[in-house]
Amino acid sequence: MRADHCRAAPPRLSFRTHELPDGALEGLELIDLLAGRTDVCSWVHERHGLIGLGRVLTVEARGDERIEALRTAWRSVVGAAWWRDALVRPGTGPVALGAITFSPASELASVILVPEVLIGRDDDGAWLTTVMSAASEGTEPEHPDPQALIKTLVARARTALGQEHAHGGSDPDEARAAVEMGALSEEQWCRAVADVQERMHSGRARKVVLARDVLTYPSAPVATGTVLRRLTADYPSTWTFAVDQMVGASPELLLRLRDRRLMSRVLAGTARRRTGEDALATARLAAWLEGSEKNNREHELARASAITALEPLCSVVEAPARFVLTLPNVLHLASDVTGVVAGDTGALALVDALHPTAAVCGTPTPAAARLIEEAESMDRGRYAGPVGWVDWHGEGEWCIALRSAQLPADGVGPHAPARVFGGCGIMPDSDPVDELAETTAKMRPVLGALGVLP
């Protein structure tokens, strides 16, 4: 459904949230419930978050006003809905998940969608929300029994997990996936970096974030849920997301809004870790990163852009000293920016104000965006765009779709490739070959989850 149609005639949806008793998931993690499934949603961080199955509604928008169009469409959906929610805490009641394109000119639509079933978990326990379309106005549909539904979902997940385990252990010599270059070859991409640097030296921009893509064809079909489970196992400290087959494990939280309090994590400045690196080597690498003039300049530009975007919308903005974030494959310079939102500004309005950050676009933003269009020779789609969730009163969590891939609608396989992305911040003194290696390192999480890497 187009966003303007949704605003004019919103569907009538019924949401019902039930608290799940302790032990209802029978020892399974949230992400395990997605095993073997393709039409799924995910927002999982350190075992907590939300997972969705199926979908009741998909709303699409394009162009410069796409985020605002989705925001107003969601408000219309909430206004026409009814729900029962005894918990009333973040992630319960009416919730939509969304994925927004990096560029307003993208051919791909930005979307918010409502799953048929949403299961959440936080420090206080787990819950289940079912969503149904009303047959007629004023008549609430009958929802499935939550206890019976969760038993069915757990049983199906156990069966799928057993099949995955049996298949995974049956062929140790399974062929690796085939990988093809995307819009540019490695040599062409390095030349594009050098061309952008020439324009930067002439004063067109101070920083430009360039990305590239590859296409990968797994030798056997891989369910979206399987990709997500592998990402969660290998990168538990990231936000493992999936919305409309845009999947990834992002370390960069664009924003969390709860009780008017905002937090945004800015990442810019990267050092690659070697496989099997010990603690001493990691500490030395962190010290190098903290002292790197190029990486500190790159980080400060990204940090300043987030603060500038948030200050008009917040009564207070604070940005403590940056720190080094350690991930299995890379180190990042990171800053956690916090604030108190003024008035009733919601999460999607904040997403609109923040995107695109200097961490994924560059500085100044308009000039960097033009250089990206000229240099990359591709449509990023939802790569480096916002992805996350919003609830019935406008709060939620959104990250930037990094360490990510766009999967085909019916799942990735030998004849249906995944499009995998990696990017990095280009400064005037960057080394194109070194930046190419950084994009490869950032592709590793998703390539590994797709079976490309050992």
Strands 330-341 and 323-326, bridge-based pairing: antiparallel
Region 148-154: mean pLDDT is 97
pLDDT for residue 344: 78
| Ranges 44-58, 128-142, 299-313, most confident | 44-58
Q: What angle do CA 35, 41, 44 make, to 5 degrees?
A: 80
pLDDT for residue 171: 44
If pLDDT is split at 50, 70 and 90, which confidence band does 174 have? Answer: very low
Lowest mean pLDDT among 184-188, 290-294, 342-346, 419-423: 342-346
Would you say residue 341 has pLDDT above 70? yes
Give pairs for 420-423: CB < 8 Å, separation 24+. 420/213, 420/214, 420/215, 420/216, 420/446, 420/447, 420/450, 421/211, 421/212, 421/213, 421/380, 421/383, 421/384, 422/211, 422/212, 423/209, 423/210, 423/211, 423/212, 423/360, 423/383, 423/384
Residues 123, 450: Cα–Cα separation, whole Å? 31
| Residues taking part in catalysis | 207, 252
pLDDT for residue 274: 80
Q: CATH number of the domain at 3-449, please?
A: 3.60.120.10
pLDDT for residue 334: 93
Residues 119, 30: Cα–Cα separation, whole Å? 7
More reliable by pLDDT, 414 or 175? 414
Residue pLDDT, tens place only, 376-387: 999 999 999 999
Domain ranges of the chain: 3-449
Which pair of tokens denotes residue 76?
């219309």
Would you say residue 257 has pLDDT above 60? yes
pLDDT for residue 137: 62
Which pair of tokens denotes residue 281?
């080597």
Residue pLDDT, tens place only, 39-65: 999 999 999 999 999 999 999 999 999
Residues 240, 432: Cα–Cα separation, whole Å? 29
Residues 159, 165: Cα–Cα separation, whole Å? 10
pLDDT for residue 178: 84
Would you say residue 170 has pLDDT above 60? no
| Ranges 140-149, 173-182, 337-346, 389-398, most confident | 389-398
Beta bridge partners of 128: 18, 119
Lowest mean pLDDT among 5-9, 143-147, 409-413: 409-413
Per cent of the chain over pLDDT 70 is: 97
Residues 176, 79: Cα–Cα separation, whole Å? 49
Among 437, 424, 454, 234, residue whose Cα is nearest residue 328: 234
Residues 435, 432: Cα–Cα separation, whole Å? 5
- Using alpha carbons, list the distances in angstroms from residue 339 to 126, 255, 325: 29, 10, 21
Region 268-288: mean pLDDT is 88
Residues 81, 94: Cα–Cα separation, whole Å? 8
3-state SS track over the chain? CEHHHHHHCCCCEEEEEEEECCCCCCCCCHHHHHCCCCCEEEEEECCEEEEEECCCEEEEECCCCHHHHHHHHHHHHHHHCEEEECCCCCCCCCEEEEECCCCCCCCCCEEEEECCEEEEEECCEEEEEEEEECCCCCCCCCCCCHHHHHHHHHHHHHHHHHHHHHHHHHCCCCCCCEEEECCCCHHHHHHHHHHHHHHHHCCCCCEEEEEEEEEEECCCCECHHHHHHHHHHHCCCCEEEEECCEEEEECCEEEEEECCEEEEEEEEEEEECCCCCCHHHHHHHHHHHHHCHHHHHHHHHHHHHHHHHHHHHEEEEECCCCEEEECCCEEEEEEEEEEEECCCCCHHHHHHHHCCCCCCCEECHHHHHHHHHHHHCCCCCCCCCEEEEEECCCCEEEEECCCEEECCCCCEECCECEEEEEEEEECCCCCHHHHHHHHHHHHHHHHHHCCCCC
Region 169-183: mean pLDDT is 66
C-beta of residue 249 within 8 angstroms of C-beta of residue 403: yes
Would you say residue 176 has pLDDT above 70? no
